[in-house]
Structure 1
Amino acid sequence: MLDRVQKNSSVLVHFILKLADGSTADSTYAQGKPALFRLGDRSLSEALEQHLLGLQVGDKRTFTLPAESAFGHTDPALIQHFSPRDFSQTGIPNVGTIMLFSAINGSEMPGIVREVTAESIKVDFNHPLAEQSIHFTIEVLEIKATEEKCHADIAG
């Protein structure tokens, strides 16, 4: 176990994400389950990692990240239009519905239905918190060195 968060640390944290209007977007406290952040694996923004570096177990930090350092800006290429025929098996969704769509590579991707007309259904695949500044409160529960993944192919 490490005494401070470093590059390539795995950090078990509780967090609260609040929006500019003060509403809570997410909270591990409310879920009763902490989150594991892995620094250096590109799953976190560089700005978020910078706020974590040097923290110790028990430290609690509050900070704000602008949209570009949190969940990014809206990418117009991630807004797609579908034909109502594409929803013949599921039925026409309502605006605001979050649905899973199959990508070409077989993975699933969530999309939010933004507009429904007789000719088209507009689905937004951007992160729901894109364009939002996020107020973080993070509490460090545990710090470990990130283990290297074993790439051996074991048959048996």
Structure 2
Amino acid sequence: MKDLKIGEGTQVTLHFALHLEDGQPVDSTFDRDPATLVIGDGNLPEGFESCLYGLQAGQKETFTVPPEKAFGQHNPSNVQLLSRSDFANIDELQIGMILGFTDKAGGELPGVIAEIDDRQVKVDFNHPLAGRTLTFEVEIIDVAPASVQ
């Protein structure tokens, strides 16, 4: 199975690193245990997953992933102004703080505090990496058929 290529339904063990356009690191497993994932299970954005197709154990590659294939473009309609009184129970509200909100369906939705004044708080519900081109570096350690759960 050493020659198995990454494709739909394969389990992949890999090291990865994500960097912003300026080289600033976002996340990496190179200094800790590698990640294991199943291709096609929805846990990895499609744009990152598609970069892995056809790779085999032992390969190292670096890809540039545009926003459309990563976390999407920044959507201005995902930025909301909320009343400052909605945050009365938070002692020290700070710009950059990530808070959990409940969406209309009852699910949890993270929002980043973008601006604060006496009356309103601007909350950005876009993914923090939306609108960013990312560099995706991988080292494939193992590729195996995904086990049926």
TM-score w.r.t. the length of structure 2 is 0.86
Q: Which piece of structure 1 moves more, 114-123 or 82-91? A: 82-91
CA RMSD, 1 decimal: 2.0
Shift of 1:123: 0.9
Structure 2 counterpart of 1:55: 55
Cα distance in 2 for residues equivalent to 1:12 and 1:75: 33
Residue 48 of structure 2 aligns to a residue whose secondary structure is helix
Contact 1:56 1:140 in 2 (8 A): yes
Residue type of the alignment partner of 2:100: L
Partner of 1:152: none
Unpaired stretches in structure 1, ≥5 consecutive residues: 150-156
1:101 partner letter: F
Cα 1:125–1:33 change in 2 (3 A) is farther
Match of 2:111 in 1: 111
Aligned 8 A contact 1:17 1:136 in 2: yes
1:137 shift after superposition = 0.7
Q: Does the CA-based 8 Å contact 2:48-2:136 persist in structure 1? A: no
d(CA) in 2 for partners of 1:148, 1:8: 10
**1:138, 1:102 → 2: CA distance?**
35
Deviation readout 1:77-112 (Å, 9 max, x if unpaired): 321221111111123511111122233444322211
Q: Give the secondary structure class of the aligned counterpart of 1:48.
A: helix
The reply on whether 1:18 has 2:9 as its aligned counterpart is: no
In the alignment, the residues of structure 1 paired with residue 35 and residue 103 of structure 2 have an alpha-carbon distance, to the nearest angstrom, of 27
Task: State the partner residue of 1:79.
Answer: 79
Native 8 Å contact 1:101 1:108 kept in 2? yes
Give, in whole Å, the separation in 2 of the partners of 1:47 and 1:108.
Answer: 24
- Note if contact 1:84-1:92 (Cα within 8 Å) is conserved in structure 2: no
Shift in Å, 1:62? 0.7
Count matched residues.
Answer: 148
Cα 1:69–1:110 change in 2 (3 A) is same
Q: Structure 2 unaligned runs (5+)?
A: none
Which residue of structure 1 aligns with residue 136 of structure 2?
136
Using the TM superposition, give the Cα deviation of residue 148 of structure 1 relative to its aligned residue in structure 2, in angstroms: 4.4
- Normalized against structure 1, the TM-score is what? 0.83
Question: What percent of counterpart residues are identical?
Answer: 38
CA gap 1:105/1:36 in 2 versus in 1, 3 angstroms? farther
Q: Which moved more, 1:56-65 or 1:37-46?
A: 37-46
